[in-house]
Amino acid sequence: MRKLILPAAACATLATAALAVSRDEQAFTDDFSWEDCTFQAWGGNPFFILRPGRQLYYSNQQCVAEGECDELEELWITVLDRVRTIVLTEDGRKIPIRTRVVEEKETADGELVEISRNFFSTCRPSNDVYYFGEEVDIYENGKIVSHDGAWLAGRHRAEPGIIMPESAFLLGSRYYQEIAPGVALDRAEHIAFDLELQTPAGRFEDCIQIRETTPLEPGAESMKFYCPRVGLVADGELILQAIFQPRR
């Protein structure tokens, strides 16, 4: 098992090495058999947990302390005790799907930057977690100035993608997370596994590294790390600082 300390230079070293790997242009999967799923707005899988009340807190405070980042960025991801029904159409039939609402709140130097409400649901029996869209509020000086990036499956040719398959360890997996033409087309590639990560929130094993790209921004990419029974541990310079579990 390869050890990786987050945040540290080792993170950048591993990411750089991963970028050097051959990048063939094989297609990313964008055709999912969601109609075969029995969807549940809870559960998730070990790499993407949908448990109402669960909250993860991230920041780039180490990057700021090292003088590599100019402002303190913070992120709270909270699984809300809310569901939203998304209606899809298949062969002329209306199919209602209950999704779990997950809120992401971002700040920069204490000022609110963005709040998004994302809609996820667990496919049974595969335990793949599907992504059905998001509402986005972007803030400046405390006021909402846009909703850029918002999309919803079933509208304007948008379709559900997969945010995290149950077989998250499968190296080389490539798939679309968002399928909203012209708006949101994030896609993921699994590029490393069997990682051991050290963060302020603890030490985690059997983690994976995912590279995210989008054809809407050629050349742009981000690196994310996920660990079993935890979920997202690092997103670029944003590192997991604390986990708040709901009371049983």
Identify the bridge partners of residue 97 per DSSP, sorted by sequence position.
86
Coil, strand or helix at 103: strand
The number of distinct structural domains making up the chain is 1
Q: What is the per-residue pLDDT across 96-110, written as a single tens digit (0 to 9) for each?
A: 999 999 999 999 999
For 139, half-sphere exposure in the C-beta direction (CA atoms, 13 angstrom radius) is 14
Digit-coded pLDDT (tens) for 217-245: 999 999 999 999 999 999 999 999 999 98
Q: Of 51, 54, 43, 190, whose CA–CA distance to 123 is shortest?
A: 43
- Per-residue pLDDT of 155-186, as tens digits, reads 999 999 999 999 766 788 999 999 999 999 99
Is the per-residue pLDDT at 7 higher than 90? no
- Domain membership of residue 23 (yes or no) is no
Neighbours of 113 (CB within 10 A): 16
| pLDDT digits 0-9 by tens, 112-144 | 999 999 999 999 999 999 999 999 999 999 999
Residue 223: burial class (beta carbons within 10 Å; 0-12, 13-18, 19+): buried
**Could you say which DSSP state residue 217 is in?**
S
Structural domain including 124 reads 2-17+28-244
User: Is 22 part of a structural domain of the chain?
Assistant: no
With a pLDDT cut of 90, the percent of the chain lying above it is 83
pLDDT at 209: 96
**120 occurs within a structural domain:** yes
Task: Let me know if residue 117 belongs to a domain.
Answer: yes
Region 61-71 average pLDDT? 96
pLDDT at residue 13 greater than cutoff 70: no
